[in-house]
Structure formats: C-alpha cells, structure tokens
Chains A and B, each alone.
Chain A
Amino acid sequence: MKNKCFSWLMFALLAMGSSAAWSTSAEDNYKNFCWQCHGMAGNGMGVNVQDMSVQPRDHTSAKAMGGRSDADLFKVIKQGGLAIDKSVLMPPWGDSLSDEEIRDLVKYLRKLCKCG
C-alpha cells in the first residue's frame, strides 16, 4: 500500500515537472515578445514604433506576409532580420523560444495574415 502511494506521488511529481517544460502557447509568446513592436493587434503599430527607423511588419496583411515561406518566417524569428537581409531592428529570438514554440508562432502568423 505504502508503495502504491509512493509511486502515485512520483507519478504526480513527474507530471508536474514535465508540465514546466511544456511550451507556452503562441498567443502568450506573441504577447510577451512581439507586441512591443508589432502591436497588440499585430498590425505593426506597437508601443515602441514612434522612434524606429524601420517600421515593424504588419502581420495582419496578406500582401506583406504572403510572399514568405514558412521556412523564411522560422528563420527570421529565430535568427533575426539580418539573417534574411532585413533590418537589425527585428531581433533574433532563438535564445528565448524553443524551435517548437517558433513553429507554433509561424502557424499563428499564418492565422493573423489569413495567408497560407
């Protein structure tokens, strides 16, 4: 009996531990990392844009976003604007997000622009 309780406890603890490693939803990551420049509505009008020399992309525009492949979007989020010959103002997020979270963000962007 004692043993059974113990293994249940271990199971619960393991489940809790692994939930900490679960990835955050794309919505929450977008809010934490992207809103500041791309805006609460994803339209490129974030709280930071007033003094920026290059405007952040409007993620709701099928025209602005449609030309990019998923691989390009993944690359620019992970490695930043410079990696696809774009502005240094678009930061690299590879140290903040897992590859899985970045793939979720690419899907999320496709929903925002209704393209792809």
Chain B
Amino acid sequence: MTGTGEPPAGADRTPSGAGAGPGADGAVPLLETRGCGKTFGGVIALRDVSTRVRAGEVTCVLGDNGAGKSTLIKILAGVHPPDSGEYLVDGAPAAFTSPRDALDRGIATVYQDLAMIPLMSVWRNFFLGSEPSRGWGPFRRFDVAEARRTVRRELRSMGIDIRDVDQPVGTLSGGERQSVAIARAVYFGARVLILDEPTSALGVKQAGVVLRYIAQARDRGLGVVFITHNPHHAYPVGDRFLLLNRGGSMGEYGKAEVTRQELISLMAGGAELEQLAHELSREEPPVKP
C-alpha cells in the first residue's frame, strides 16, 4: 500500500507494543494478539496482527470490506484458533475450542451476521444459552417470570427503551437490536465486549444510540473491541485505533496520536483518496456553474 508509508504522528506503529510484558499503564491487557494470522484455504484473511485490549478502553478495528476485521474478532471470540502467532488472555496463552470457552472467560461477542434470533422474543433472546432455571431434576424449568423481570430491569438501567420484552427481536430496529445484545453481554458479566460492525447497517440517529451504549459499557470498566469501517463512528468513542488492510495491520494509534481527519485519510489509504479527490475535482467545473 502506498498510503501507509507516512502515517501521521510519526511512524510509531505500536507505541506500547514493543515489549512483551505489561502495557505502559502497568496492567496486563485483557486480550493480546501477537503476530496472529489466519488463512482459509488459499485466502490469507489475516496476517501478522498484534494488538491489545485493555479494561475501560475502546479499541477500534478499522478497515474496508474484506480487510480481515471479522476474522480477527472471530479469533478473539474463540470461533477460529489463529493459524500463526499467539493469542493471550490475561497474559496467558488462550486455547479456546469454542465460543463458549471464550464466553466463560468473560469475552462476549455481538456478531455482525448472527446477533440474535428474529422470531424469538427479546427476553428469550436475552437469556439464550444461559437461561435462569429453578426446580430440580425433571421439573427444572426456565424461570420465565424472572427472565422477563431481569430483562426489563437491565434494559432500563442501560437507558434502553424497549416497549415490550415479549416482542420478537425481528420487530426491533437495528439499533435496538444491537443495544439489547450489548445489554445482554454486560449483564452476563462480560469483561470484554466485541462488537462486529454494530453501526454499519444503521442510520445516523440509531448509530448514535449504539455508540452511546458502547461508551456506557466502557464506563462500566469493560474492554470494548469495536469493529467498523466508518471512522466517523470510531473516532468519538475510540481510545485506540487498529487499522487493517487486506489482512495486514497498517498500524495502531492512540487517540492522542491521530486526528479524525488523519484517521479518515489513513482508512482510505491517503494517497488513493487524494488521487480520487483530484480526479473528481476535474470533473466538477462543468457541473457546477
């Protein structure tokens, strides 16, 4: 990539990533990848990506379609093991065999393509896979009343305004759906919340609502991994920005090291965008007057 040669704020790719030990703030990061890669058949979906996720921080993963964002978070979430490199949780190598393993370590993921089940009610979705039960033996049952109550309370405490927890999730708006998924992860004691393009299908207003819940989760001390291809969504909530392009890392920047404008041009591959602007501007004069 030609545009990556001169990143703003110096060539400091991973300012705190040189050493293998704890980060600059002294705490062991919740999650860390070291040179992780993944291939599918002949396709290199991800190569040599290193990043860290810390409590109370939002790590944004930015990149165009096919950049490998979903592949990276599927590694973090225990869907795929990395083919190369290391994946550490709380500083120790993780050997997840399923998303359940990751979930049990407090790593909750809201997937882009498989977040919730549209035909099921909000409360059924909320507790899916972790239903509260009462009674014993063959009489053990899903505590439906408790589930409804809890969902209502949790949504309200996050300021999520859902009319009726009995309505099918499919009748919620995209933003509401993401919000419920976030509330669910927070409720189940997630320490890390991974969100795959939660705002990409949303309008401006709905995206704003989701960003607000991301900030809420962060303020509750969760480490958030926020995947997006929209720098305008990433910049307001992000603390760190990991840029991916065609499976490779284009660097990771702290908020202090990059401006919104720089992020946008980095995303678009700087020179390419300038080239594009140049091309487009030549066509403008005949149209404008």
Is chain B a partner of chain A in the same complex?
no
